[in-house]
Structure 1
Amino acid sequence: MPDQNNSLYAAAQRVVEAGLANDDSAFTPGRPVWTQTTADDLCQRFVNAPELGGSSFAEKLGRQLADAPPETIQLAAELVYLHLLAPNDFGGVAKRELLSTVLAISPQPIHVPSDLDAALDGGFGRAGTAYRTYRDRQLAWLVRFVVAWKELSSEARQNALADPWAFRDVADSIPVNSAYSQRNVLLHLAFPGTFERIASRRHKQQIIEGLAEDVPQPTGDEDRDLAALRAELERQRGDHIDFYDSDLERRWRPRSGAAGDSESELRGWLVRGANVHGRNLVPEWLAEGYCSLAYPDLGELPSGRTRSQIDTQLAEMQPDLTSKQRSIHVGVLDRFLNQMHDGDIIATVDGAKVYVGTIAGAATWTETPEHLDSRRRPVRWANADTPFTRDQLTAPTKDRLSGQMVVSTLGAEVAEFAALAGIDPDIDPTEDTPEPPANEPVVLPEPTAELANDLFVDLEWLSETVDLLREKKQIILYGPPGTGKTYLAQEIAQFLTEQTGGEHRLVQFHPSYSYEDFFEGFRPQRGSTPGTVAFELEDGPLKLLVNEANKDVTRAYVLIIDEINRANLAKVFGELYFLLEYRSRSVQLQYSPTEDFRLPPNLYLIGTMNTADRSIALVDSAMRRRFSWQGLFPGEAPVADILRRWLHAHGLPADRADLLDALNDRVADRDAAIGPSYLMNSRVGTEAGLARIWKHHIMPLLEERHIGDNVDLLALYSIDALRNGTTPHIRPRENPVLDEEIGEPPT
C-alpha cells in the first residue's frame, strides 16, 4: 500500500471488505446493505430509470430514491462515498455536503464513522473532466459492478478479491459507458499495489506513449504495460517511482507543470471564422480540417516570433493602428501562432451551431486568394457532422462565446466543450451526449457552535452572515468603531477558507487607493539599461486572488476589504461593478483588453465600513445593491452581549459591560456609539486600568463628537457620572445630521 493517504486506502479497504467480501455495510457494520436484492433495486431505480434535465446530480438522485427502502438509499450513499474518496481536487467540505445530501434521503439517520469521514479530506489525484461532469454515469457504473459482483459464485468472488487481475476481469465485464475514470479509481482503491493512482484513461495512454522506450515488452494492455513500466523504472532507479514526479511527468507530458496544476489539464481556444471580411470560412474549415486567422495585409508571420517582433511588423504594415489597437492584435496573433499546442481544444461557432476539435499541428502559411485563410492550423474536428448548439451550454460556458475577440481562451469551461463533443478519452464518444449537468459551486460550510463561542456571538447571527455571503457572495459589515467588524471579518474568512482549503487576504482602502492598486496597473521597474525605468503590468490583490481561485473552484477564496468606504469606489472598482452583480459574465479589462475576465464563483468579498463619520451616505445605490449588509451596533445583537460574554470568559468584573451600556444610552446615537472592543482588554480588571482606557481611548472619541457643543464631557461621560446616574443638561446641536438624510443600507 502506498505510504501517502494511508487513511484513504484503509477506508477503501473497509468498504471493499464490508461490501464485496460480505453483504455488510461500511457505515453501519452488522447491517446487510450490500446484498444482491438491494443492488438490483438500486439498479432498477437509478440505472434503468435515468432522469434527464438540468437538475444537479443530488436533486435527481433524491427524486429517484424518494420512496426507496432505507437499505437501497444507504447502498447508494456508500457508493457515492467510494466515488468521492479519490479526487484531491474536490475539497472535503464539498464531499461531505454531497454525501450528506444523499444520506438525508433516508428516513433513518445514518452517520459516517469518524475515521471514514476523515478520509474524505484526502484523495490520490485529480479525477478528471468526466469524473465530475458525469457523476451520474460514474455511479451507474459502480451500481452495475455491484450487481455483477453479487451474481458471481462465492468462489469466484473470493478468487477476484485475492487476484487483482481477476478483479479487473470483473470490472471489465461491465460496459464502461463514459466511466473509464471510475473504473480506474476502483481498481486502484481495491489494489493500490497493482493498479496506478491514475483516474484518467488519457494519462495512462500518454504515460505509455511518452515512456515507451522503457516498456520491456508492450502488450497493448494499458494496466499490464504500466505495471511492467513501473517495475522497470524502479529497477533502474532503485527506488519507488511516481509517474507524476516532475522529472517523469516532463517526459510523458512535456507542457505540464506540477502534478495537479490546472495548466496541465485541457486547454482550449475559441477561433472565429463565420464572418471573416464578410465571408464564412467555417464550412471550409470543417471540410478540410483546419482553422485560420486572416490579417491579409500582414503577410506571412512565422511561429516563434516574440510579441515585440509581431508588434514591429504590425506597426510597419498597418501604421494607422494606435498602440492600444496593436496590443490587441498582437495578443490575437501570439495566441494563434505561439500559445496553441497540439492536443489543445478548439471551438468555433456558426450561428447557433458549435463545432469542437483538437489542434493537430503547428501554424503554417498557405497561399490563398486574398489571404483570408492563409494563416492556418490543422484541426481534427470531432463533431463536424453533429454540432451541438449554444443552448446546450451552461450559462458561464455560453458566455465564452459572447465576446468579440477573434482568438480567445476557453478557460475552465474548456471541459464542457470537450465533453459535449466527446473528445475526452475518458468519455465514450459512442454514447448519446446528455444535457450538461447543473453547476456544483463551492459549498460554504455552516459555522459551528465552537466558532460562535470563540467569537462571543450567537450562532444564529453567524449562520445568517455566512448564508448572506453564500447567497450574494459579497457582504459588508458596517457599524461604529470598536464593534469588531474587521476582527469578525477575518475570523469568518479564516474559518471558511480553512474548512474548504482555500485562502483569504486583507486589503485596506484609503482615499488615494486606485483601480491600479486594487486590480491591475503599470508599475515602475528597474529598466534593463542602468539608470532607466520601465513600466510593467502587475496584478493587484484582487486579480492575484482571482488567479488562485480559478485553479480550484471547489475551495473558497475570501478577500477582506477593510474600510471599504474610505476609497472612491467607482474609481477603484471600475468595470468590476458589472461583475459583482453578474458573476457568470465576462468583461474586457482596462489594461488587458485581450483578456476576457470574470469573477469566479468561489471568490467572496467581505467589506467593513465605519458609520461614525456618516460616510456610508457616500456609497452609491449601485454599490449598495451589489452587497448584502450586516449591521454591528452596540445594544443590538450580536454586539450587545459580546463584552459581557468576554468578561465572563476571562473572569473579569461584569459591571464593565453595564458601564458601556450606560455610556451608549447617553450617546443616544446608533452610528456614534462606542463598541465593546475598547474594553476587551485585561486591564479593565482593575479600576486604574479601566480609568486609563476610559481617559485615553474612549473620551477622545466623545470629545471629537461634541466639538462646539459646549458640553461638560466629564459631567456627562465620566465613569463616576455614569455610575451615579447623573445627567446634566445638553445644549442641542445646530444643524444636526438626521438619520433620514443618511439613509439606511439595505439588510
Structure 2
Amino acid sequence: MTGHEAVYAAARLILERGFGADDSVFTPGRAVWTRENAEDLVFRLEHPPAGASGTFLGKLRAELKGARTEVVQLAAELLFLHYLPASDIKGSTKRVGLRSVLSAAAWPVGLPAAFDAALDGGFMRVGVAFKTYRAQQVTWLARVFAHVKSLPSVNARAALDDPWAFRALLDAVPTTVAAGQRRALLHLAFPEIFLDSLRVDHLRAIVGAFQEEVDALTGDDERDFAAIRGAMQEHEGPVDFFAAPWSSRWGWDEPQDKENLVAYRPGWLVRGANVQGRNLVPEWLREGYCAISLPGYPSVAPGLSRTALAAVVRAAEPDLSPAQEGARVALLDRFLNRMAPGDLVVTVNESRVHVGVLTGAPTWVAGTDAAGAHHRRAVRWLDTVTLHRSDLSDTAQDRLAGQASVVELSEVAREVADLVDLDGIDAAGVAVPPDGLGASTNTAAVAGLRGAGELPEPTTVVVEWPPLEELPVPTAELAGRLLVDLDWLAEAMDLLSEHKQLVLYGPPGTGKTYLAQELARFAAEETNGEHRLVQFHPSYAYEDFIEGFRPGLAPDGTFRFAREDGPLRRLVRTAVENPSGAYVLVIDEINRANLAKVFGELYFLLEYRNRTIELQYSAGEPFRLPPNVFLIGTMNTADRSIALVDAAMRRRFAWQALFPGEPPVDRMLHRWLAGEGLPVEVAALLDALNAAIGDRDAAVGPSYLMNRRVRERAGLDRIWRTQILPLLEEHHAGEHPDVAGYVRDRYGLDTLYAALAAGAGTAVGGPAVGDGSGGVTPGVS
C-alpha cells in the first residue's frame, strides 16, 4: 500500500467507525465516537479554562484536564484526522502531537500499525494558515461530529455513500476559519469527487479553465468540478489537475510566489547540562532563562563588533590560540548580538530536549561562591510537549551533538518548532488569514484567533522556498541540442537526482565535460540554483577543495594564516541559503587527483546526506552536505580505469558510460554532421577507426571530428595528423620500434578509406565538398 493509499484507507475507516457507528479506530470495540463524548469535547474546546495559553497542544491539554479517557481519545482521533492530508508536516511531528494528547488518558492508548504508517503519508502541502489555525479547525471537526451524532444514525451512514449528502452534513456547521479543513475532509471522504486542495481559488481557476468540458455550469463550483473531471476522465482516463498537461491550462505551472515560501523562527541550541561540572538546566527551566558562563570575563555590552569582542577576549584570556580566540568571539557574538527575542531556544538534558522562546535582551549576573558570573537571556520554556532526542531526525540529532556552548540550528529550528507546535508564521512574521477571513479582516480579531501576545513574535524571520524534492525532467529540445537520446538524458538526470553524485566516464572526445556542464546548467537554471566547475589534478588537495589555511596579511599589516573555503564549501554555503535550488559542482578529470586525500571526511557525507560532521579545520562547527548539492565528475578511461578508483568512492557515485559505438555516443557525430550540412560519411570513418583500435577504453570520441574542417580532405588530414594519430601513438607507446609508423600504417586515413571502400565495393576517397549523402564519396586522395 502506497503512502497515499494508507491515508485514504485510514480516513475511510475513521468515517465508517466514527460516522456510522460509535467505535474507536485506535482501540476497536471501545465506544469513543458517542454523542455524549462529542458534546463534552466541544464544550471543553469552546470554554477553555482560565489561563490556558501557549501552543495549540498546550491549550488542548489544559482543556482536556479532568476529562474521561474516551473524550481524550476522541480528541486524539480527531487530531489524527486533521493531520492526515498534510504532506508538509513530518510523521514524527504528528506522532509527538498525538502522544502529547494521549498522555492525558487514564490508560495507555497506542496507534494500530496501519494508522501509524499513514502518518508518514499526506497528499498536499497544507501551508501556514492550516497549521496556524489548528485549534479552530479541530474545534470545527468536533462540532461536525457532535452534529452528526445528534441525527438519526441512518442519516450518517447514508452520507458515507453520497458525496452531496456528506457535504450537506458538513455545511450544517459554520466553518468560519475552518474552510480549509472542510475541503480536506471532503476530499478524504470522496477523493474522486472533490479537489485535493485547500484553496478555493484553485477550485475556481480549474472550473473556469475547463468549463468547455460540460454543457453549462451550475454556479456550484464543487458540483461543476466533479462534472468536469467526470467528463474528462471518460475520454482521457485519470486526470491530475496538478500535473502536466492539465496543470498549465489553469495556471498551476506559473510561479507560486509567496504561497510556497517556508518561514520559521531562527533557532539556537544553548548547552547547560555541564557548565563547569554543574547541570544548570533544571534551574534554567525553573527560573526562565538560559546563560553562558565565562569565568574571568567582565560584563560585556551587547552590540559590540567582532573586533571589539576580540579585544575583550584577548584581555580576559591572553594565552588563547587564534582558533580558540575565534571560538570565544563567535560564542559572545551569537549570544549577545545574533540571538533575538522571538527566536527558538533549545537545551538538552540527558535524553530530554527542552524548547522555549527567547523573550528578553542580554543581562549580566555577577558571580557568587556557588556559581560564576554569567550572561543571561530570558526564555519562556514550553513544557506542553515531552520531547526526546529520538523524536528528532538524524540531522537534528547531529546538530544537538558536539561541544559548542551556543549553536545556530538553521533549518533544524523549523523541525523543532513543528514538533512543539509553535505558532506558524509567514514571510512577514505574522500568520496568513485563512479562507473566510480575508485580507480586510480586523487585525485584532486575527491576532486573537492565533493567540497573539501569548508568545513573542520573532524579531527576524528565516524565509525559504520549499526544499528541492527532485531535479527537473530533461526536455526533448535539450536532448536534441545535446545530440543524445532523450531516454539516456532522462536516465542520467534521474541517477543524479537519486544518488546526488554521478560520474560520466569514457575515452577521450566523447563529450563528458560538455554533457556534465550542460546537465549542471539545466538543473541549476530550471530551479534557480547555481553550477560551477573545478578541475582536479595530481597536486589538488583537501585544502584546495574543501577548506584550508592560506597565508595572507592581517588588517594591521602582519603576516598570518587564515582559513579559507574551497569551491565545495562555498557552493554549500550558497545552497543552504536556497534549499529549493539545485547547486551542481562539475569536477572535471576527477580521477587525476588522490580522491581519498581530496575528499577526506566528505566520504561520510557523500553517503549520509542527512548527517553532520566536523571538518578537520573547523572543530566545533557541524558541517552537512545539503540534499540540493550535486556532484558530477568526469573521468577519462584512457588515463585510469574505474577499477583503479578506490571502492569507497565507486560506491558513493553512480556511473554513466560514454563510449563510441554505444548510446548515447553512437549517433552523436552523425547527427551533428547532418545538422551542419557536412558529409555524414565522416561518422563511418570514425566507426572504422574505433573498430581498428579494438579497445573500448582507448576508442576515439566524436568531438575530434565535430569541426567544420572535415568538409575538406585537407582539414580532415590535419585533424588526423595533429590530434588523433598522436593520441594513438601514446596508446601504443613501447609496443613497436617505430610507433609512429605503426600507428600511421594501421590508423591512417588512406588505410581506413581503403577498408571502407573494400567493405562497400567502391573507390577509395574522401569527403566531397558540400556532400551529405552518406557512404564513401570519391574525392582527391
Compute the TM-score of the two structures, normalised by the length of structure 2. Answer: 0.61
Report the CA distance between 1:443 and its aligned residue. Answer: 1.9
Q: Which amino acid aligns with 2:511?
A: G
2:282 — aligned with what?
Answer: 283
Within the candidate set 749, 755, 764, 1:719 is matched to 749
Q: Which residue of 2 aligns with 1:643?
A: 669
For 1:302 and 1:49, the matched residues in 2 are separated by: 46
Question: In the alignment, does 2:172 pair up with 1:50?
Answer: no
Q: 1:564 and 2:590 equivalent?
A: yes
What are the residue-to-residue correspondences of 1:104-503 with 2, within 5 Å? 107-108=238-239, 110=241, 111-112=245-246, 114=248, 116-117=250-251, 120-124=254-258, 127-129=261-263, 266-298=265-297, 300-304=299-303, 307=306, 322-370=321-369, 372=371, 374-424=373-423, 426=425, 441-503=468-530
Select between 586-595 and 613-622 the one with higher mean Cα deviation: 613-622
Verify: 1:677 aligned to 2:707, yes or no. Answer: no
Distance change >3 Å, CA 528–CA 74, structure 1 → 2: closer
- Assess if the C-alpha contact under 8 Å between 1:294 and 1:371 holds in 2: no
Local SS of the residue matching 2:564: strand
Shift of 1:400: 1.6
On the 8 A contact 1:527/1:534 being kept in 2, the answer is yes
The 8 Å contact of residues 550 and 561 in structure 2, kept in 1 or not, is answered as yes
| CA contact 2:273–2:348 (8 Å) conserved in 1 | yes
2:203 is aligned with 1:72? no
In the TM superposition, residue 462 of structure 1 has moved relative to its aligned partner by: 1.1
Q: Structure 1 residues 547 and 664 mapped into 2: Cα distance closer, same or farther (>3 Å)?
A: same
Give CA-to-partner distance per residue, 1:123-149, whole Å, 9 cap, x none.
2577343xxxxxxxxxxxxxxxxxxxx
- SS of the residue aligned with 2:667? helix
Give the Å deviation of 1:312. 5.8
Q: Residue 722 of structure 1 aligns to which amino acid in structure 2?
A: L
Q: Deviations over 1:206-243 (max 9, x none)?
A: xxxxxxxxxxxxxxxxxxxxxxxxxxxxxxxxxxxxxx
| Structure 1 residues 429 and 403: alpha-carbon distance in aligned structure 2, compared to 1, 3 A threshold | farther
- Cα distance per residue 1:490-522 (max 9 Å; x no partner): 111111112111111111112222222222233
Task: Output the CA distance in 2 between the equivalents of 1:106 and 1:402.
Answer: 52
Identify which range, 682-691 or 388-397, moves more after superposition: 388-397
Deviation at 1:331, TM superposition (A): 2.8
Aligned to 1:72, what secondary structure does the other structure show? Answer: coil
Please tell me whether the aligned partners of residues 187 and 196 of structure 2 are also in contact (alpha carbons under 8 angstroms). Answer: no
Distance 2:205 2:367 in 1: 53
> For residue 583 of structure 1, what is the amino acid of its counterpart?
R
Describe the SS at the equivalent of 1:283. helix
Amino acid in structure 2 at the alignment position of 1:354: V
Is the Cα–Cα contact under 8 Å of residues 521 and 537 in structure 1 kept in the other structure? Answer: yes
Conserved 8 A contact 1:558-1:605? yes
Q: 1:13-32 maps to which residues of 2 (within 5 A)?
A: none
Q: Deviations over 1:26-70 (max 9, x none)?
A: xxxxxxxxxxxxxxxxxx999779366542432899999689464
The answer on 1:513 being equivalent to 2:540 is yes
Alpha-carbon distance, 1:619 to partner? 2.3
Shift of 1:543: 1.6
CA-to-aligned-CA distance 1:368-426 (integer Å, 9 cap, x gap): 43574631323332413534223332332232212222211101221222233343453
Letter in 2 for 1:452: A
User: Aligned partners of 1:490 and 1:81: how far apart in 2?
Assistant: 41
Identity over the aligned pairs, expressed in percent? 48
Whole-angstrom CA distance in 2 between matches of 1:654 and 1:451: 22
1:614 positional shift: 2.0
Cα shift at 1:301: 4.2
Residue 628 of structure 1: aligned partner = 654
Instruction: Give the match for residue 564 of structure 2.
Output: 538
Separation in 2, partners of 1:668, 1:345: 65
Deviations 1:450-505 (A, max 9, x none): 21121111112111111111111011111111010000001111111121111111
Distance 1:370 1:620, change over 3 A: farther
Counterparts in 2 of 1:474 and 1:273: CA distance versus 1, 3 Å: same
Structure 2: distance between partners of 1:355 and 1:506:
43
Alignment-mate amino acid for residue 524 of structure 2 = T
Structure 2 gap segments, 5+ residues each: 1-77, 86-93, 95-117, 127-183, 207-231, 426-430, 432-448, 453-465, 758-781
> CA separation in 2, counterparts of 1:82 and 1:414?
36
SS at match of 1:400: helix
Distance 1:608 1:56 in 2: 38
Q: CA deviation at 1:353?
A: 2.2
1:275 alignment partner AA: N
Q: Measure, in 1, the Cα distance between the counterparts of 2:593 and 2:200.
A: 52
Structure 1 residues 457 and 382: CA distance shift in structure 2, 3 A = same
Give 1:547 shift.
1.5
Cα shift at 1:79: 6.2
Matched-pair contact (CA < 8 Å) for 2:361–2:378: no
